[in-house]
Structure 1
Amino acid sequence: MEVNSLNILSAGAGTVVYPPGGHFGPRTQVNYQLVLLHTGKMGVSINQKHHYEVPQGNLCLLQPGNLEEFHFAKDEETWHSWIDIHIKNMPPEMENRLKFLPFYMPISDAMNQITELMLQIQHTGQTGINNTKCTLGAAVLELFIEETLNQSNVDRLYHPVVLRVKSMIHKRFHEEMTIAELAEDVSMSPDHLVRLFRKHEGVTPSHYLWERRINRGIDLLQNTGLTVSEIAYQAGFKTSQHFARLIKKHTNRTPTEIRMGYREGRNE
């Protein structure tokens, strides 16, 4: 049974940061969901019988019908992203195949890039992108199956320095920071850090930092009533004009259009 032959009705992605001591659930899992743990810790209880401690830098596959409860790091924020895949009438042979895969495995470059791509597509707010997201959902599921069967391919796994720099960017994106400061924190020259980051992420640390700021700004536009100036400041921009200019370049929409489009979509 090929993954791309599955009847995927919808797929989507998200990202969230839980404060120290965060907790979620219990909840019954509805769809197949891949959770990528970037920083912090995550304990997952399944059906009150099985408990897993997912290490930082790993992802896990959550499956429909299970009762789940999550506990996060007590002394630091926990950041994770996810891809949710709604499959109609999952064939029994594929369902059984997924049940016997490892619960978690290291995040690969490819898995992270697909997740980031889906998040970016959603942020554009364009209509008619459901088929594209379904295609990416199928790719993620197929990639997870392939990677769990080939975990010895260490070249595809994150370099620990890259993971550490991403963690620092995620926690301090609203502050001023330079490549030199990031490189010093990981005891590496700036040029070496840029080469390493580009190899594993496909972009420079500076590009990744601005992408993080833009995505945070979009999240605040869609989920808060803060002014554009307040959002720009919280997302790490010096001025609201700079924020609006990069948002327009990234999404082809103004901050006001993003905010209004999201509200209209929720009211449909």
Structure 2
Amino acid sequence: MKFFPEELRFVFGQSRYAGRERFGPLHGCQIEMVHIRTGQVEAVIDGVALDIVAPAMLFVAAARQLEYRYGGDDLSDVFWCQCLGPSIGEGLVSTLRSHNGAMVVSEAASTLFRLGAELPLRISDGMPDFVASLAETLAQELIGRRGGGDRAPKGESRVAVIGRYIEDNLEQVIGMRELSEAFALTPQHINRLFRAAYGVNALDYLWHLRIRRGAFMLRHTGMPISQIAYRNGFKTPNHFSRLIQRQYGLSPRKLRMRDWLGET
């Protein structure tokens, strides 16, 4: 299936953002693919906010407005592919909107992002059909991976599917038994996949995401600390506070105030 009409044109690039920097808002129809290599971002797509922690990839089709709000202490390093021109149209956005969301990084997509971002200007500007073909291939990879685990039953693609399941269910009770039952794999097999892909076991990966997303919400929302804790799967607010203190050396309240007051 081909996702983009032939008349669409695309541009690739690489950008870096410090904490609390923003890109946008962009108004009107937008189609973008993003690789968040480091840092974290809140992507607001037509008023719907997605909290994303690196490493991750994102497909976006927005009909009205798109904005990226970067956060955290780390510099956010981002590869991006943006669709250009007025010919996007609400019909195309409506067709692609169901694919919106983040997915685990794939080696193939990483290579495509890098290839596009590093194209010399004479090629990028002089060969728009080649750039469009690169964007189409990237969309096929991202949307194909987001579509489900039955397309790629083993290796890196399988760990990507499990990782996406974890990211989409951070506030739920997730343990090795739940993962094993959901994917018909033994806990030992799942942990081998995660250690090979990320250098940590599956539950360490889960808690890393919970802590990072919780810290992001502390810095960029006024949501009560207890609500942030429960929305990210922590057993109690005290449990959340202990892990935030261990990771950042500050209580949740002090971490929030440090960022809001611009202290270092």
Deviation of the 1:236 alpha carbon: 0.9
Match of 2:85 among 6, 22, 47: 47
In the alignment, structure 1 residue 252 sits paired with structure 2 residue 249: yes
Aligned to 2:212: 215
Q: What secondary structure sits across from 1:79 in the alignment? A: strand
Cα distance in structure 1, aligned partners of 2:221 and 2:65: 26
Aligned to 1:14: 40
Letter in 1 for 2:245: K
Cα-Cα RMSD: 4.3
Letter in 2 for 1:265: G
Letter in 2 for 1:225: G
Deviation of the 1:23 alpha carbon: 2.3
* Unmatched 5+ stretches in structure 1: 1-7, 37-43, 52-68, 83-91, 108-156
Cα distance in structure 2, aligned partners of 1:229 and 1:160: 35
- CA 1:9–1:77 in 2, change beyond 3 Å: closer, same or farther? closer
Deviation of the 1:218 alpha carbon: 1.0
Cα distance in structure 2, aligned partners of 1:223 and 1:49: 34
Alignment of 1:1-268 (within 5 A): 10-12=16-18, 13-16=39-42, 23=62, 33-35=78-80, 45-49=83-87, 78-79=101-102, 94-96=120-122, 102-103=134-135, 105=138, 159-265=156-262
Q: Deviations over 1:166-196 (max 9, x none)?
A: 1111111111111121122112111111101
Q: Deviations over 1:185-210 (max 9, x none)?
A: 11211111110111012211101110
Cα distance in structure 1, aligned partners of 2:262 and 2:16: 16
Aligned to 2:56: none
Q: Is the 8 A contact 2:214 2:232 kept in 1?
A: yes
Question: Which consecutive aligned stretches of 4+ in structure 1 deviate over 2 angstroms post-superposition?
Answer: 8-29, 48-51, 69-77, 79-82, 92-107
Q: Is the 8 A contact 1:45 1:70 kept in 2?
A: no
Letter in 2 for 1:159: E
TM-score, normalised relative to structure 2: 0.53
TM-score, normalised relative to structure 1: 0.52
Letter in 1 for 2:224: T
Cα distance in structure 2, aligned partners of 1:227 and 1:46: 40
Identity of aligned pairs, percent?
A: 23
Deviation of the 1:220 alpha carbon: 1.5
Deviation of the 1:24 alpha carbon: 5.5
Letter in 1 for 2:193: L
Aligned to 1:59: none
Q: What secondary structure sits across from 1:159 in the alignment? A: helix
* Unmatched 5+ stretches in structure 2: 1-13, 19-38, 50-59, 69-76, 106-117, 143-153
Cα distance in structure 2, aligned partners of 1:207 and 1:24: 37
Letter in 2 for 1:23: A
Q: Is the 8 A contact 1:23 1:72 kept in 2?
A: no
Q: What secondary structure sits across from 1:238 in the alignment? A: coil
- CA 1:45–1:189 in 2, change beyond 3 Å: closer, same or farther? same
Cα distance in structure 1, aligned partners of 2:104 and 2:189: 28
